[in-house]
Structures are given as C-alpha cells and as structure tokens.
Amino acid sequence: MDKLHIALIADPEIPVPPSHYGGIERIINYLITELQQRGHSVSLFAHPDSKTSADNFYPYKSTKQSPAGIIQNTLNISRLLFKRPDIVHSFGRLAYLSALLPSGIPKIMSYQREPTISQIKKAVSLSVKSSLMFTGCSNYISNQIAPFAKAAAVYNCISLADYHFCKSVAQDAPFVFLGRIEAIKGTYDAIQVAKQSNRKLIIAGNVPDYAQAYFDENVAPYVDGEQITYIGPVNDAQKNELLGKAAALLMPVKWNEPFGIVMAEALACGTPVIGLKGGATTEVVIDNMNGFICNDINHMIAAVKNIASIDRKACRDDAEQRFSSGVIAGQYENLYLQMIQQ
C-alpha cells in the first residue's frame, strides 16, 4: 500500500490526547499512532497544548468556538490547499472545511453528535462531486446523514493496551457510573438502581457548570461514602482500575447516545453494561451477550439479578473485534483509499 499523507482536524478546545474528559481527542490520538504504524504520514490541527506524535503539528491560534475563533482556525486549516494532502479527515466543526470544500482534495467529515442536516446539504452543494463523505460514530448517526450525502458508520475506538481484562470480580463488586454528571446521562437513575438492588455504586465524572444544580439536588444527597460514592473525574489509569473491578457499568441514558465510548472501555475490561435504549446503546450492547438493554429503570433493576450470566471473556472479545484502535483505523484506512481512488 502506498504511503498516504493524512491531515486530521480536531476541535480546538481540548488537547490531543486529553488528560481527563475528551473522548474524541483520545480517539484522534489512537488513530495517529495506528496510521503511523501502517507507514502513513499524519498532520494534525489541534489545541496548542497537544502532545502528539503527528509528523506535522499545526496548533490553533484560537481555542475558542467564537465566530472570530472559528474564522481564525478555518484560515489556519486553509493552508492545506497548498500542501495538498492525500486526504483530509475532520473530527472538528464542519465549518473548518469551508475553504477546502470547492477543492478536489478528498475529505471525510466525522460526526460524533447529532448532525445538522441543513449544514450537510450546504457542504455537499459547495463540494466538488464525490470529494466529500461523512462518517457517524454509530449507525444511529450515519443513518441520519445517508439520505443526503455519502455516509458510513465507523465506531469509536479504544486502545486495548489501556484496559486490562479482569476475568472475575468479587461477589459484592460495585456498579459504576462513569461520565458527565447531568440529567441526560441518568446519574440519579443509576443511584436508584443501586439502592433498590442493595448494591454499591461508584460515580465518577465531571460536573459541568450548567449541571451543578442537578448534582446538588439529585446526586449529592445520596452520596454517603459507603453505598454511594462520588470520586470526581478520573484519568485513564484510574478508569481502567475502576471499570475492571466493577460488576457492571450502568448506562441509564435519557437521550439518544451517539456512541458512548465508556461502554467500549468497560467491555474491554470484561465488564458488562446495563443500559437503557437510546441512540447507539442498542448497537454497542448486545442483549444477553455483553450486557442488557432495558426499557426502563425497573427493567434495569431486574437485569441486575442476571448479571452473573454474562461471560466477561465474551465482553472482552467483543471489544477486541469491534472497538479496538487497530480495527477502527483499518476501517478509516479503507475509506481513505476508496475516496482517493474513485
């Protein structure tokens, strides 16, 4: 295979890789490593504090998503018109591709959130025919794009080396809730599942400023340091230990989850997932194989009783086959070649 020059675009707010929160920045970092191991050259546009192995690093001048910041960063990215990479792959704002859309450079725009269809239509209308395609981090996302543009689903990935398989846990092992502490993530509901199941729960994650009232009213009153514990944000090493020692990851989402990388991280540790239907949870969780998909909180409480029936090795195997950084990098690599050769 010929060596490719691949330009990757991140959003400007969080370094690549992140120290705590920043799932897509972590995925970009994995992708850089995997692509370089395949012999490709990688350029990266990202936060100036990024610690990257990319062959060429272009730090943003603005780390804000203000109109002025977006224009400044778009102009920075427009230098690719002169450097002519083989392909441009953006995980950032679609606006950052504005200057490149009329060019013939192959471009992939990857969505990690609900797509804005009007923007996608406009981008397609401005692009040279067949020079732009989209990916979604799940079929739930890509299926929304497919009626209007070329689209494919490519799942988010994890580094298997960062998550160690735990073939068994203690009989009284706690449940874990790991993610942003806010209403749509269902932290309160995870607490209710634990309390009504008479099981321990460890809550980890950041509390956004806009969700402080939710935390104060719906989470803090139940935190006793014994049955319900809150430990704040965790780094990768802490996450590995936390998930590996858990009986299950609770995902009582109240929104359409675009992917939910924490589910893949849990599965890599051998830890099954008990989640509610919503977006991509029904894609990541295979009912009765690597966890349970539930219709409501009462269904989740009932599923707790059957958690021992899930084979933790099957969870790990599933993570290796569907969500490893090597597998996902290979899928992107195939898309790059398709776009270049068409």
* Separation between Cα atoms, residue 107 and residue 217, nearest integer Å: 45
CA 266 vs CA 44, 95, 244, 258, 306: distances in Å: 29, 34, 7, 17, 18
Tokens of 265: 């991280």
- The overall average pLDDT reported for the chain is 95
Give the predicted TM-score (pTM) of the model. 0.93
**What does the chain come to in residues?**
342
pLDDT digits (tens, 9 = 90+) for 167-223: 999 999 999 999 999 999 999 999 999 999 999 999 999 999 999 999 999 999 999
Q: What is the pLDDT of residue 136?
A: 98
What b/e string do you get for 249-262 counting C-beta neighbours within 10 Å, with b at 16 or more?
Answer: bbbbbeeebbbbbb
Q: What is the pLDDT of residue 70?
A: 86
Residue 1 has pLDDT above 70, yes or no: no
Residue 21 has pLDDT above 70, yes or no: no
What ranges do the domains of the chain cover? Answer: 5-157+324-341, 160-322
**Nearest Cα to Cα of residue 258 among 337, 189, 342, 185:** 185
111 phi and psi, to 5 degrees? Answer: -100, 130
pLDDT band at 22 (very low <50, low <70, confident <90, very high): low
Give the CATH number of domain 5-157+324-341: 3.40.50.2000
pLDDT digits (tens, 9 = 90+) for 102-131: 999 999 999 999 999 999 999 999 999 899
Stretch 38-43: mean pLDDT, rounded? 96
Q: Do domains 5-157+324-341 and 160-322 have the same CATH topology?
A: yes
* Separation between Cα atoms, residue 227 and residue 223, nearest integer Å: 8
* Separation between Cα atoms, residue 58 and residue 67, nearest integer Å: 20
Which of the listed CATH numbers 3.30.1240.10, 3.30.70.330, 3.40.50.2000, 1.20.120.420 matches domain 160-322? 3.40.50.2000
